[in-house]
Chain A
Amino acid sequence: GENVEQHPSTLSVQEGDSAVIKCTYSDSASNYFPWYKQELGKGPQLIIDIRSNVGEKKDQRIAVTLNKTAKHFSLHITETQPEDSAVYFCAAYKAAGNKLTFGGGTRVLVKP
């Protein structure tokens, strides 16, 4: 089955700096990669996703890059703000088996 590893598990950044979270996946057949943000006491919320036919996608301060050869994808948050503090989960989807596998999560703390 698919295995998704996410690093780092915790990340502390100064407000205004950039944050980068990296995920690696094991199955080259995976073709859809969403990122979810979970604030304390709330359910996860999709913030950005990328499909395997695209190498990069941006949405304002958030970007995701995908390297299919190396089987890794990364979330980039620029100009971090205190409201970016949350737990972030990456995931990888594989059509065979119809399965979405989550990474272990990264707790991001943005210090004012």
Chain B
Amino acid sequence: DAMVIQNPRYQVTQFGKPVTLSCSQTLNHNVMYWYQQKSSQAPKLLFHYYDKDFNNEADTPDNFQSRRPNTSFCFLDIRSPGLGDAAMYLCATSRQGFTDTQYFGPGTRLTVL
């Protein structure tokens, strides 16, 4: 009965090789978020969607892109991963916005060689 599913759980890529992380939800929530979390740090919001309305954080590098083809799925594309992009990537959903409970997936740990 997983509600927010992330695949893969672990991803290894080479420096500069594009990678896509995926997230799906069974909650039918309107809002989906992508966070980057580095070791011993708080999650850092990269972007979020209100339905199909995309909202990019001002300090999210251009290297990071996202797609939300439908309510259930959301993808994070890293066009040219650098060593500094190695992190845990968390997907979350909420019903209407930031003041609703955010349900997080288990995360994808990205390693860049």
Query: Interface residues, chain A, CB within 8 Å of chain B?
Result: 32, 34, 41-46, 49, 51, 89, 93, 98-100, 102-105, 107
Interface centre among B41, B104, B105 (most CB of A within 10 A): B104
Is the CB of B81 closer than 8 A to any CB of chain A? no
Asked whether B42 lies within 8 Å of A93 as measured between CB atoms, the reply is no
Contacts of A49 in B (CB 8 A): 101
Query: Interface residues, chain B, CB within 8 Å of chain A?
Result: 4, 40-43, 45, 55, 90, 92, 97-99, 101-102, 104-107
Asked whether A44 lies within 8 Å of B104 as measured between CB atoms, the reply is yes
Interface SS of chain A: helix, strand, loop or mixed? strand
The minimal Cβ–Cβ distance linking A98 to chain B, given in whole angstroms, is 6
Asked whether A46 lies within 8 Å of B41 as measured between CB atoms, the reply is no
The minimal Cβ–Cβ distance linking B53 to chain A, given in whole angstroms, is 12
Asked whether A105 lies within 8 Å of B107 as measured between CB atoms, the reply is no
Q: Which residue of B lies closest to A42 (CB)?
A: B106
Q: Of A45, A99, A102, A107, which one neighbours B43 at CB under 8 angstroms?
A: A102
Asked whether A43 lies within 8 Å of B90 as measured between CB atoms, the reply is yes
A98-B43 contact, Cβ under 8 Å, with A42-B106, A43-B104, A43-B105: no
Asked whether A103 lies within 8 Å of B42 as measured between CB atoms, the reply is yes
Asked whether A100 lies within 8 Å of B98 as measured between CB atoms, the reply is yes
Asked whether B107 lies within 8 Å of A32 as measured between CB atoms, the reply is no
9 contacts between A and B (CB under 8 A): A34-B102, A41-B107, A43-B90, A43-B92, A43-B106, A44-B43, A104-B41, A105-B41, A105-B42
Q: Which residue of B lies closest to A105 (CB)?
A: B42
Contacts of B106 in A (CB 8 A): 41-43
